[in-house]
């Protein structure tokens, strides 16, 4: 395996010419105490003590109202460091593949976080800084999360395909179970090609976690303490999932459980898993409103400014409402929507959100045969006419859509989990601070 760049620089460069990370390595090697220190070398990059401290502090703030759920500081630091290492590897791999995010992408993510917290972006910035954090570091974390998300999409896009026969087989399978369950889990991972000793160690750790959870420790606290899954610091909460989304081996275990029950350690492809059934709910018929409508879409272009597009949409609206011109003919002559223009703007019957949230909001506000005022979406300016509404039982269609999504999600999770394991096992990772290594590794030299 090639030696990482940081160590190479340490060996061949002078102290005055080294980048800051290599300078820190040099200071550490010479016995000098730097203002910051490197705690881990990760392929071509490093993780600084300040990064680790900030990430640990962020987790502590997240659990400020329930500090007892956090594990001892040494365990917490190792868990956070492992998460930082995995993020660093994902960002490096994404950079190698040319995956980038723009400032506009990060701005959009900041706005989304602000909206979720019912704040303006300015209020979010003030809140971050009031907690003693750097807003630039906050933006950097969002950037890395976006990059990791795009790497995930890139990996699963080419490796996950769901066929109609797989959907049919799932729905026809005697093991198929409808309904939804709320799960939490603890994962004790095994490296690729794990030997008997590593398997025995992982199983012993899983048994300790089960004993703790059944002995009175809150399951989420046990997940934080024992799990090494990516969601460990979130308490291992998997949220609500349809039964068909759960891997078959786990679904069989869960099917015999009641809310509050904890499973034994289940051996899976990535290690040992412990599940807790938090809640469950039975399936119900999916009767939803469907709307019948038609539309005219006017798009800005090189030949038409946004203001001209808006004015043209307003003129067409006036011709329909005030001059009673034929909607279908105007749609065929003027609409720029490729899927509906030639059919006179006909959109057919569709669930409310099928054409997006903006059209869905407008269609629900109209009465039958009513024509909307021009309104804007990302595509351009729309004029919408609602032709009818009906209640439709879409249970079978939704069931197939959910089965397709469930199979896809299951394949995607497994594919990316395998990808991360392979990436982690083939990477050069050197934890320089002995107390931050796993207990079994603490006696070994770097």
- Token digits for 352? 């409310």
In a domain, residue 272? The reply is yes
Are 221 and 275 in a shared domain? yes
Are 302 and 270 in a shared domain? no
In a domain, residue 315? The reply is yes
**Domain region containing 146:** 97-158
- Token digits for 192? 């690729």
In a domain, residue 326? The reply is yes
pLDDT above 50 for 3: no
List the strands of the sheet with 346-351, edge to edge. 346-351, 287-298, 381-393, 375-376
Q: Kindly report, residue by residue over 22-77, the tens digit of the pLDDT.
A: 444 444 444 444 458 999 999 989 999 998 998 898 888 888 888 888 888 988 99
Are 365 and 316 in a shared domain? yes
Are 140 and 232 in a shared domain? no
Are 117 and 244 in a shared domain? no
Q: Kindly report, residue by residue over 189-224, the tens digit of the pLDDT.
A: 888 778 889 899 999 999 999 999 999 899 999 999
In a domain, residue 48? The reply is no
What CATH number does the domain containing 358 carry?
A: 3.10.50.40
Domain boundary among 140, 158, 176: 158
Overall number of domains in the chain: 3
Are 115 and 181 in a shared domain? no
DSSP calls for 381-439: EEEEEEEEEEEEE-HHHHHHHHHHHHHHHHHHHHHHHHHHHHHHHHS-EEE-SGGGS-G
Are 384 and 402 in a shared domain? no
pLDDT above 80 for 178: no
The structure's pTM equals 0.53
207 Cα distance to chain centroid: 29
Q: What is the pLDDT of residue 7?
A: 35
Are 275 and 404 in a shared domain? yes
Give Dmax over CA atoms of the chain in angstroms: 87
Domain boundary among 158, 177, 196: 158
Q: Kindly report, residue by residue over 314-353, the tens digit of the pLDDT.
A: 999 999 999 999 999 999 999 999 999 999 999 999 999 9
pLDDT above 90 for 17: no
DSSP calls for 316-349: HHHHHHTS---HHHHHHHH---TTTGGGTTEEEE
Are 414 and 378 in a shared domain? no
Q: Kindly report, residue by residue over 221-256, the tens digit of the pLDDT.
A: 999 999 988 888 888 998 888 777 777 778 778 888
In a domain, residue 180? The reply is yes
Helical H segments across 177-303, by residue range: 196-214, 219-226, 248-255
CA distance 410 to 181: 15
In a domain, residue 28? The reply is no
Q: What is the pLDDT of residue 18?
A: 32
What CATH number does the domain containing 115 carry?
A: 1.10.4030.10
Are 271 and 404 in a shared domain? yes
Domain boundary among 110, 138, 158: 158
Q: What is the pLDDT of residue 23?
A: 40
In a domain, residue 83? The reply is no
Q: Kindly report, residue by residue over 106-140, the tens digit of the pLDDT.
A: 999 999 999 888 899 999 999 988 887 789 988 99
Are 387 and 414 in a shared domain? no
Q: What is the pLDDT of residue 177?
A: 65
Cβ(285)–Cβ(365) under 8 Å?
Answer: no
Cβ(341)–Cβ(332) under 8 Å?
Answer: yes
Are 259 and 184 in a shared domain? yes
Q: What percent of the chain has pLDDT over 90?
A: 52
Report the pLDDT averaged over residues 355-384: 95
In a domain, residue 90? The reply is no
């Amino acid at each position: 395996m090639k030696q990482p760049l940081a160590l190479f620089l340490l060996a061949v460069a002078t102290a005055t010419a080294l980048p800051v990370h290599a300078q820190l390595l040099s200071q550490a090697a010479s016995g000098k105490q730097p203002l910051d220190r490197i705690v881990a070398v990760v392929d071509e990059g490093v993780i600084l003590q300040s990064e680790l401290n900030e990430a640990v502090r962020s987790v502590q703030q997240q659990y400020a109202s329930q500090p007892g759920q956090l594990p001892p500081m040494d365990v917490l630091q190792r868990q956070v460091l492992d998460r930082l290492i995995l993020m660093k590897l994902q960002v490096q791999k994404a950079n190698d593949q040319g995956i980038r995010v723009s400032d506009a992408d990060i701005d959009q993510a900041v706005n989304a976080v602000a909206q979720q917290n019912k704040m303006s972006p300015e209020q979010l910035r003030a809140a971050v800084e009031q907690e003693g954090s750097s807003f630039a570091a906050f933006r950097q974390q969002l950037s890395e999360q976006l990059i990791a998300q795009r790497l995930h999409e890139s990996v699963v896009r080419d490796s996950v395909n769901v066929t109609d026969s797989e959907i049919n087989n799932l729905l026809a399978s005697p093991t198929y179970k409808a309904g939804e369950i709320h799960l939490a889990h603890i994962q004790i991972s095994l490296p690729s090609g794990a030997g008997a000793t590593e398997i025995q160690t992982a199983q012993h750790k899983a048994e300790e976690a089960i004993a703790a959870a059944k002995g009175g420790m809150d399951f989420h606290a046990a997940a934080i303490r024992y799990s090494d899954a990516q969601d460990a610091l979130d308490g291992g909460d998997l949220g609500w999932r349809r039964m068909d989304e759960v891997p078959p081996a786990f679904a069989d275990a869960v099917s015999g459980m009641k809310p509050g029950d904890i499973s034994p350690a289940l051996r899976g492809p990535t290690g040992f898993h412990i599940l807790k059934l938090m809640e469950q709910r039975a399936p119900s018929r999916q009767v939803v409103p469907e709307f019948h409508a038609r539309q005219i879409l006017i798009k800005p272009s090189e030949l038409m400014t946004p203001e001209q597009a808006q004015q043209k949409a307003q003129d067409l609206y006036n011709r329909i409402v005030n001059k009673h011109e034929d909607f279908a003919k105007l749609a065929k002559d003027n609409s720029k929507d490729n899927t509906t223009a030639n059919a006179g703007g006909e959109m057919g019957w569709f669930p409310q959100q099928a054409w997006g949230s903006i059209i869905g909001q407008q269609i629900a506000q109209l009465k039958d045969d009513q024509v909307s005022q021009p309104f804007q979406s990302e595509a351009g300016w729309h004029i919408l006419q609602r032709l009818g509404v009906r209640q439709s039982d879409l249970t079978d269609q939704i069931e197939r859509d959910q089965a397709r999504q469930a199979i896809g999600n299951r394949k995607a999770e497994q594919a990316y989990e395998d990808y991360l394991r392979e990436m982690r096992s083939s990477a050069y990772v050197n934890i320089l601070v002995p107390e931050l290594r796993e207990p079994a590794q603490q006696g070994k030299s770097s």
